Amino acid sequence: MNKIIGRELLNNCNRIVVKVGTTTLTYDNGKLNLQRVSKLAWVLSDLKSQGKEIALVSSGAITVGTERLGLTKRPKDIKGKQAASAVGQAVLMQIYQNLFLEYNQQVAQILLTKDIIDNPVRKENARNTFFELFKLGVIPIINENDTVSIDELEFSDNDTLSSYVACLIDCDLLIILSDIEGLYEEDPKKNPNAHKIDIINKIDQNIYDIAGGPLSEHGTGGMHTKISAAQRATQAGIKTIVASGSEPNIIFKILAGDNIGTLFV
């Protein structure tokens, strides 16, 4: 794997937020991809053992809840989604708890809504909780509090949420893992020889144009929401990587400086 000058510095990142999307965590039938989730728990636990502070932003609650409730289709109405996420979030946390415990790591659940970030007192409170958890050696697992989120409170997608979390806790690196390998100059589905952009120093309209519309990918967020998350994070001085989550140990390679995904600096 070829190395990119400067990327090896990523290994110095100490506080890291990792975001994984629903399509990475689940199979098409809505069941959890346990192989992948187990590997993720293993990788994050190992980084924790290396002395890094890790926070995981995990989607999947609505999809897992839909499957657990035996519904044939993901609900479309707000209350249906909220009910599914209430069930799915508990299932997700139970599984994370068990998997991380295998590696002697304690996890914690943090459910956020946009109004917490918008309110200085509540924001400070949330921030203090994160720092206390880090002090106690715990890995926080964050999702939007879908069960009570309504339009005005919504982050709208977990890419956005992850960038707010990254800024809230002043992390060094945000890693967004999904079914997308990175940002390509052209749609790789249309042109298999399309060139991946390895590093982006400036996010401008051209980058958004390359990324396409907000609904160009599976899941709630598309490449568009990832670029806008990267923009929020990099404006706060936080490096951001968008890469494929199909093999969670890719995180080790990213930190080793391998040319994986698209790095926004």
Residues engaged in binding ligand GLU (CB under 6 A): 21-22, 59-63, 85, 143-144, 146, 157-158, 219-221
Place of tokens 């998350």: 229
141, β-bridge pairs:
56, 109
From the list 97, 98, 111, 22, the residue with the least C-alpha distance to 65 is 22
Between 85 and 231, CB nearer to ligand GLU: 85
Q: Residue 178: beta bridge partners?
A: 244
Cα–Cα distance for residue pair 262/7, rounded to 1 Å: 11
Please say which residue, 77 or 204, places its beta carbon nearer to ligand GLU: 77
**CB of residue 112 to ligand GLU, shortest distance in Å:** 10
User: Smallest gap, in angstroms, from Cβ of residue 146 to ligand GLU?
Assistant: 5
Q: How far is the CB of 246 from ligand GLU (least distance, A)?
A: 17
Q: Which amino acid is at 31?
A: K
CB of 265 to ligand GLU, least distance (A): 24
User: Are 92 and 56 spatial neighbours (Cβ–Cβ below 8 Å)?
Assistant: no
In this complex, which beta carbon is closest to ligand GLU, that of residue 57 or of residue 173? 57
Nearer to ligand GLU, 33 or 257 (CB): 33
Nearest distance in Å: CB 184, ligand GLU = 21
Q: Please report how close the Cβ of residue 131 comes to ligand GLU at its closest, in angstroms.
A: 24
Shortest reach from residue 240's CB to ligand GLU, in Å: 16
Nearer to ligand GLU, 13 or 167 (CB): 167
Q: How far apart are CA 155 and CA 115, in angstroms?
A: 9
265 token code pair: 């600096």
Q: Which amino acid is at 97?
A: Q
- Choose between 61 and 165: whose C-beta lies nearer to ligand GLU: 61
Q: What's the rounded Cα separation, in Å, for the pair 37 and 20?
A: 10
Backbone angles phi, psi at 160, to 5 degrees: -60, -50
Distance between CA atoms of residues 76 and 222, nearest Å? 18
CB 18 within 8 A of CB 56: yes
Q: Nearer to ligand GLU by C-beta: 22 or 45?
A: 22
